Structure formats: C-alpha cells, structure tokens
Amino acid sequence: DAGITQSPRYKITETGRQVTLMCHQTWSHSYMFWYRQDLGHGLRLIYYSAAADITDKGEVPDGYVVSRSKTENFPLTLESATRSQTSVYFCASSDGTGVFSPLHFGNGTRLTVT
Amino acid sequence: GENVEQHPSTLSVQEGDSAVIKCTYSDSASNYFPWYKQELGKGPQLIIDIRSNVGEKKDQRIAVTLNKTAKHFSLHITETQPEDSAVYFCAASKGGSTLGRLYFGRGTQLTVWP
C-alpha cells in the first residue's frame, strides 16, 4: 500500500531558482491538494485539483504553479523561489465520492530557500 | 473566507488525565469539522470528524462536540497515553463543491507525561 508519496523529503535551493516538488498517489483519487505548513499559521491551501487537467487556486497561490496531466501525479513548481517560500509542503488526496471525503496526506517536503 | 481559531497552542497532561482542545470558526455555512493528528516528521492524519447535523461523536477514547449556535467545536481525549503526544489540528469546511478546502487552526502541541 504505497498510498501518497512526496519527493524529495528535503530540499535546499537558492533564491531565484526554479524547484519542483513531486506528489504521487496510488489510489486513483480524483482530488489532490497542496498545503504549506508554517509555524504559527497551521496549514494553508496553495492549489487543488478536482481531476486531470482541472486545477484551482487556494488561499496562497502566488509564486506557485501546478499541473495535473495524469490523475496520479500533482507536481508543485516554484518558478522563482523566495525565502518566504521556506516551508514544509504537504500533498493530499481525496476520493471525492462523498460530500465529506477525508483527506489523506503525504509525509511532506521540507523546503529551505537560502 | 473562513477563520478558525484553536486553543491552547500547547497542552501538557499527565498520563491518564483528559485533554481538551477547543476551536471556533467564523463562517456559519461551514458544516464539516475534522480533526487531524500530526506526529513528528509525518503528515496529518484524520482521527475523527463531525458534521453539522450531529452534536457529538465518540470513537473509543476520543470525542468531538459541536455547538453550531456558538460556532465552536472541541476535541476530548480521555485516559491519555504517551502515544497521544502529537500536534492536533482542527479544521472547518463547507464540503460539497468546496470539497477539500479545509481551513485549519494553528495547531495544539499535546504532550502526555508518563
């Protein structure tokens, strides 16, 4: 049961560089999400996707780009990384079969922008 | 958007005692209130949830109560054990077309001392 996996687990990059965080799920869930977790802010939604080729912005989308060409993958790209994007990033998925389908989270990617 | 406040930010209890975490929300249209437990180095995991048509829900040692009039909900853990030590997050959502757009509280670090 692979579930939902994120890679890499840790990443250090420099300001201005492009970096992509990967997310892969094996459940064929329709919905996928990206959250960032910062001390004092809890979890905030960056982007989400209801199906392949359908994405929408969350609370804090600026500086991020997503794509969903395949149901199982939902990469998050920081086009030009800034120090304020230093955070722990969590990918999540949901089957969406019910109005209140629970989210299943990956174990996160800790990103440091120097 | 929704604003979820969570208290306390840290909570220390002796093994066997009860722990209570409280959350308030601002949007009266919210109708789904999950609780997540996050262990060190892992993603949040759903432990219990409650819907707006229910006032209380219990699952073994954990229970959640909801007061829609006052717009607050609480997590109760009885007979705490050291393995209950983790960060707990409350969240609120309108469900339906906004599936997965959970608004999280800032988290409570629970420590259970043996």
| Type of residue found at A34 | W
pLDDT of residue A15: 98
- Is the minimum CB–CB distance between A44 and chain B shorter than 8 Å? yes
CB spacing of A59 vs B43 below 8 angstroms: no
Residue A36 confidence (pLDDT) above 90: yes
Residue A102 confidence (pLDDT) above 90: no
Do you find a cis peptide bond into B114, omega within 30 degrees of 0? no
**What integer is the mean pLDDT of A77-87?**
97
Residues of A in contact with B66 (CB under 8 A): none
- Is the minimum CB–CB distance between A47 and chain B shorter than 8 Å? no
pLDDT of residue B96: 60
Residue position matching structure tokens 């120097």: A114
Residue A98 confidence (pLDDT) above 90: no
Residue A42 confidence (pLDDT) above 90: no
Tens of pLDDT along chain B (114 residues) come to 789 999 999 999 999 999 999 999 999 989 999 999 999 999 999 999 998 888 999 999 999 999 999 999 999 999 999 999 999 999 998 866 555 578 999 999 999 999
pLDDT of residue B100: 58
pLDDT of residue B22: 98
Residue A1 confidence (pLDDT) above 90: no
- Is the minimum CB–CB distance between A41 and chain B shorter than 8 Å? yes
Q: Is A66 within 8 Å of A76 (Cβ atoms)? A: yes
pLDDT of residue B99: 59
CB spacing of B104 vs A43 below 8 angstroms: yes
CB spacing of A102 vs B51 below 8 angstroms: no
Smallest CA–CA separation between B86 and chain A, in Å? Answer: 14
Task: Tell me how far CA of residue A35 lies from CA of A48, B36, B56, B65, in angstroms.
Answer: 9, 14, 28, 26
Smallest CA–CA separation between A8 and chain B, in Å? Answer: 13
> How far is it, in rounded angstroms, from Cα A48 to Cα A53?
11
pLDDT of residue A99: 64
Smallest CA–CA separation between B73 and chain A, in Å? Answer: 17
pLDDT of residue A39: 85
Percent pLDDT > 70 in chain A is 96
> How far is it, in rounded angstroms, from Cα B106 to Cα B109?
10
Residues of B in contact with A108 (CB under 8 A): 41-43
Task: Tell me how far CA of residue A83 lies from CA of A33, B36, B47, B69, B91, in angstroms.
Answer: 22, 28, 33, 42, 27
Mean pLDDT, all residues of chain A: 92
Residue A10 confidence (pLDDT) above 90: yes
CB spacing of A59 vs B1 below 8 angstroms: yes
Residues of B in contact with A101 (CB under 8 A): 99-100
**What integer is the mean pLDDT of A28-55?**
91
Smallest CA–CA separation between B113 and chain A, in Å? Answer: 24
pLDDT of residue A41: 83
